[in-house]
Structure 1
Amino acid sequence: MRHRAFMLLPFAAFALAGCERDIDIELDNVEPKLVVEATIENGEAPVVILTRSLNYFSTLSLDQVLNNFVHGAAIDISTGTRTHRLKEYTFAVGPYNLSYYSTDSSNLATAITGTLNTSYNLRIETEGRIYTATTTIPNITKRIDSMWWRPNPRDSSEGKVQLMIRTTDPRGYGDYGRYWTRKNEEEFRPGRNSVFDDLVVDGTTYEIPVSPGVERGDQRVGWEERVFRRGDTITLKLANIDKATFDFWRTMEYTYSTVGNPFSSPIKVLSNVKPDALGYFGGYASQYRTLIVPE
């Protein structure tokens, strides 16, 4: 089981104050919503993490986050011809227990593994409510033709290098992607802006630098985060995704980048989990390439 980060979906709020009088805005006390982080990747079992949303003004503590997992849900994943009931698993990270749902190892006859060009339906029943979502693992259409490194064009001191790839986008709009990188034995981390479409590059072969993936909440900014170093073993994960998965991460990453900015435009994070859950169910058609940068 790959460790997956707990996902909170914050919402933006602001207050206005005039010179002559104060303006008080009373915010509604919103009931917690179900937060879904569900994925299925080619060659992999589905993984579903369920939590509840937290009040914007809640005092956040680690215990509160860890107690926010939703247990005992009935979760089915289906291809239309086969349906499998997922099982809840718990694993320890230090003194804490985290939970997720995945393939029931005692019922492998109906188990579902991610397959290219296949659609999946997700059904979640918990606390007397039913939620549904659909995703597709598309074909791998945007491929990595080659991958290499070059000295950092702005600063090659301290052995800094830049990762480059050449890739070909097939003709016809509608190819969406997401990428992650891993340095040495670290975990895969998504890029700060990890999703992209083909509106500009449709039907072309092009070269582009790839920025290292980052931890969400990492305060480093600027060029320093965009480099690898000599001696690194770099693994790039590139996945084709469907539009719903693209829209979720496009809007989610925008909210990450605007937290604390009072001049940013408000945006709604687009979920594909109905009727009113937060989060997403996403399919990934993934490919991997590894490059060893010499010392």
Structure 2
Amino acid sequence: MRNFLMIIVTVAVVLSACEKDISVDPQQGEASLVVEGRFESNQYPQVVLTRSLSYFTKVDPAALVNSFVHNAQVIVSDSSRSMTLKEAIVQIPGIGAVFAYIPDTTRPSAVFKGKTGSRYTLKITADNKSYESVTTIPLHAFHLDSIWSQRVKIKDDTLKARLWARITDAATPGNYARYFTRRNREPFLAGANSTFDDQVVNGTTFEIPLDAGIDKIKRVDPETYGYFNGGDTVTVKFCNVDKATFSFWRALDFAYNSNGNPFASPTKIIGNVPGALGYWGGYAVAYKRIIIRK
């Protein structure tokens, strides 16, 4: 979308250069709080808070470090308990060290892990403003029954393989999922299209391909995208999510896949933290592993 806007500005300048000078004065809006909060089943919650960067900000390590929000009050609660998260430096696989708000596990009686079928409220106070969001760690309405690989020949490479999954959906409609894959000891990564729902497959058992996850910061080879290599140990992290989490990531996947396409429809990223950008999402997680045969 940024590239598309710059094309429009350039064309406008060229077409009107013979008539008059054009001065573009972009307005700098106030930075917004950006929330990336997740609560997985059988895990502790983690919340990363940053401030949005202006459109023309040069994105470099210094700008990213300065965007973190410190000294916020972050509280997660269920129907009967609350825990205050503390700021700490944590290692996120594939990203590195970041500032995040996590439970103080040195006080076991004051913390709790996520459970399927439960609702969790996130309350944030930062820069004299308050924010609140609710998510659910849903039940395993989508069940990952099995996974297997199928050999695919790409040019002269006969070691490529496509991963497939058989999934059973509960009869109740309105189920949503997101998945990640890990190759060997690499971090879990989502594919270019990492979400799906049960609008078409409600109450059925179906089979779908699972693309290999990608690092979306790096350039992707379209000829080999989605495939694994012979000998890879692949772990699938399959997550049931609620509708808000699904909608957020589906929109981001669409924006990523449309990047650089001037004919793509504008994408509106819909978060679930009123007054802020981002999301607070619950994940009901299940894992399966396979070794791709050579």
Same fold (TM over 0.5): yes
Q: Shift of the alpha carbon at 1:98?
A: 2.4
Corresponding letter in the other structure for 2:241: I
Conservation of the 8 A alpha-carbon contact between 1:119 and 1:137: yes
CA distance in 2, matches of 1:154, 1:97: 37
C-alpha RMSD of matched pairs (Å): 2.3
Summarize the alignment of residues 70-219 of structure 1 with structure 2, pairs less than 5 Å apart. 70-91=69-90, 98-152=98-152, 157-219=157-219
Q: 1:156 to 1:244 in 2, by over 3 A?
A: farther
Corresponding letter in the other structure for 2:288: R
Corresponding letter in the other structure for 1:283: G
Conservation of the 8 A alpha-carbon contact between 2:180 and 2:189: yes
CA distance in 2, matches of 1:30, 1:137: 34
Q: Shift of the alpha carbon at 1:77?
A: 0.2
Corresponding residue of 1:53: 52
Using the TM superposition, name which of 189-198 and 146-155 deviates more: 146-155
Q: 1:75 to 1:11 in 2, by over 3 A?
A: farther
Corresponding residue of 2:16: 21
- Report the count of equivalent residues: 284
Once the two structures are aligned, what percentage of the paired residues are identical? 37
Corresponding residue of 2:270: 270
Q: Shift of the alpha carbon at 1:130?
A: 0.5
Conservation of the 8 A alpha-carbon contact between 2:154 and 2:160: no
Tell me the secondary structure at the aligned position of residue 225 of structure 1.
Answer: coil
Corresponding letter in the other structure for 2:47: V
Q: 1:46 to 1:263 in 2, by over 3 A?
A: same
Q: Shift of the alpha carbon at 1:103?
A: 0.8
Q: 1:170 to 1:213 in 2, by over 3 A?
A: same
CA distance in 2, matches of 1:184, 1:214: 14
CA distance in 1, matches of 2:201, 2:74: 39
Using the TM superposition, name which of 148-157 and 212-221 deviates more: 148-157
Q: Shift of the alpha carbon at 1:199?
A: 1.0
Conservation of the 8 A alpha-carbon contact between 2:3 and 2:260: no
Q: Shift of the alpha carbon at 1:153?
A: 6.0
Q: Shift of the alpha carbon at 1:104?
A: 1.3
Conservation of the 8 A alpha-carbon contact between 1:12 and 1:266: no
Q: Shift of the alpha carbon at 1:267?
A: 1.9
CA distance in 2, matches of 1:11, 1:278: 22
Tell me the secondary structure at the aligned position of residue 152 of structure 1.
Answer: strand
Conservation of the 8 A alpha-carbon contact between 1:11 and 1:56: no
Unaligned runs of 5+ in 1: 1-8
CA distance in 1, matches of 2:45, 2:38: 6
Conservation of the 8 A alpha-carbon contact between 2:182 and 2:213: yes
Alignment deviations for residues 190-233 of structure 1 (CA, whole Å, 9 cap, x no partner): 11110111111112111221110011133224240111111100
Corresponding residue of 1:253: 253
Q: Shift of the alpha carbon at 1:283?
A: 0.2
CA distance in 2, matches of 1:147, 1:260: 34
Conservation of the 8 A alpha-carbon contact between 2:86 and 2:102: yes
Using the TM superposition, name which of 161-170 and 257-266 deviates more: 257-266
Q: 1:13 to 1:133 in 2, by over 3 A?
A: farther
- TM-score of the superposed pair, with normalisation by structure 2: 0.89
CA distance in 2, matches of 1:270, 1:39: 16
Tell me the secondary structure at the aligned position of residue 212 of structure 1.
Answer: coil
Using the TM superposition, name which of 155-164 and 219-228 deviates more: 155-164
Unaligned runs of 5+ in 2: none
Q: Shift of the alpha carbon at 1:86?
A: 0.5
Corresponding residue of 1:44: 43
CA distance in 2, matches of 1:159, 1:102: 41
Q: Shift of the alpha carbon at 1:155?
A: 5.6
Check if 1:69 corresponds to 2:68: yes
Tell me the secondary structure at the aligned position of residue 252 of structure 2.
Answer: helix
Corresponding letter in the other structure for 1:21: S
